[in-house]
Chain A
Amino acid sequence: MVAVHGYFVGPDYRTEVWISARAENELHKYIRRNKRFGSQLERTIKRYAESGFAQWEEKGILRREGARSWRLGRSDLFRLLGGYGGSKEKFLILDAGRKPGQRRGRLIDERVAEIERTLEACDWVEVANEPTDEANPR
């Protein structure tokens, strides 16, 4: 079971974004290493959350990866992987990582398969943020 906590949640967001600790850790590492692209990626997700992810499907950086899974990534090879949690009002970022090259590669294939399985089985649980975290970090 994958634990996810709120990242962009509340009345400001048409699609709430929940994230796993692993994906958040990878995202924040990416932001620290690539300040510009990382900030743009984080900001894009926030804007998508505010306007609703459905509006951006296959248009912006939100691209279908499998039957249930989607990816988010800007012009480099870093990708966030996840999918909707039951409705278009909740998006779960379950995993993140860097593609080895232009092709997805076996590692990403395995991660996508695991995300498909998690979403299909609803094998995720919402947990409260750590006390030291802010409810809405941005």
Chain B
Amino acid sequence: MNRQTKQILDDYEQSIEGIDFDMRMDLAEIITSSLADNRWSQVDLGSRSGIDPSVLSRLIHARENFTVRTVARIVHALGLRGKIQAVLPEATTNLRLSYGHTGVGDIDGTNIKAENPKRSWIVAGPSHADAA
């Protein structure tokens, strides 16, 4: 990779837009992972969450901006809780890994902390009812 390309990618990753895009991808990952785990279609999740499937499709494509209310509807439909966390940039890979390898229901967000948070992150974990 030449220096110019690498600089463009690094600049994007560190920009507000890059953080915004990563958070959209977080939600997209939560949606697609849970669709697979539950063997639901987008229509199924749409009917359970009250979100139009076309909006879900745009969320999966990371094209759609979303509100906290939208995230709440989705995680509620999945029987999960949502949490926004701010973590160090280098912590994001490990966070995604723990998500990707264990599935939506296994995240224990309380283990992920940052003393000097610089990046926001969305995670979904078991609801309090499930945890109990």
* Pair A32/B100 contact, Cβ less than 8 Å: no
Range of interface residues on B (Cβ < 8 Å): 20 to 34
Q: List the A side residues contacting B33 at CB < 8 Å.
A: 51, 55
Chain A contact patch, size range: 20 to 34
Contact B96 A60 (CB under 8 A): no
Report if A75-B4 is in contact (Cβ < 8 Å); known contacts: A43-B12, A47-B25.
no
| Contact among A31, A43, A75, A133 for B13, CB-based, below 8 A | A43
The B interface is mostly helix, strand or loop, or mixed, namely: helix
- Interface segment among B59-67, B75-83, B105-113, B119-127: the answer is B59-67
| Residues of chain A contacted by B96 (CB below 8 angstroms) | 47, 50-51
Q: Cβ of A52 and Cβ of B62 under 8 Å apart? A: no
A12, A47, A75, A134: the one within 8 Å of B1 (CB)? A134
**Interface presence of A14 (CB below 8 A):** yes
Residue numbers in A under 8 Å from B116 (CB-CB): none
Chain A residues within 8 Å of B, Cβ to Cβ: 12, 14, 28, 31-32, 35-36, 38-40, 42-44, 47, 50-52, 55-56, 59-61, 74-75, 133-134, 137-138
